[in-house]
Amino acid sequence: MNNFELNKILGAVLVALLAAKVFDITGSSLVAPVIKLKKDVLVVAIPEGGAAGHAAKEKEIGPITPLLATANIANGEKSFKKCMQCHVIEKDKPHGIGPSLWGIVGRAIASLGDYAYSSSLKEKASAVWDVEALNHFIHNPRKFAKGTKMTFMGIETDQERADLIAYLQKAAH
């Protein structure tokens, strides 16, 4: 074997190693590496504000009726955009992922026969969606109806909930 053949073989090996390193760096930047842990662990995301922020969300909320007098319907319509991923508010439009919210204020809970409600809401079927029930549900749906299918985390601020409820009342008329 002459030197020219030996150089070609060494060059090919070096190019292959260089290509492997480039692919390794590129692949690592595109895909997060899997980290093997010694023990099984559960990673819990702590909301902004730490544990104190979570405790604040669990606080009892006051009545919403006084805030409805100063509610801003335009702001409520903007807040409703969060709901539009799953709900509709037009009268004759079919349900989305969630039930239609047209005429929700004053309607019995879980009363639309053509929608499959969760059992937790069906248990509350004797109650009515008045402004206070809506206030509690919109604040924390999972606390209001444990086991609800609704994945929305809720609206924390009282004024935003009042604006949204005022919009729901107006939109149905």
- Residue ranges per structural domain of the chain: 64-171
The average confidence (pLDDT) of the chain is 85
Q: Give residue 29's pLDDT.
A: 80
Contacts of 162 (CB under 8 A, 6+ apart): 64, 67, 68, 70, 71, 76, 135
171 pLDDT band (50/70/90 cuts)? confident
Q: Is the dihedral of CA 125, 127, 103, 162 positive or negative?
A: negative
Fold of 64-171: Cytochrome Bc1 Complex; Chain D, domain 2 (1.10.760)
Return the closest-CA partner of residue 99 out of 131, 137, 63. 137
Encoded tokens for 144 = 């209001």
pLDDT tens for each residue of 131-163: 999 999 999 999 999 988 888 889 999 999 999
- Average pLDDT of the segment spanning 112-120: 90
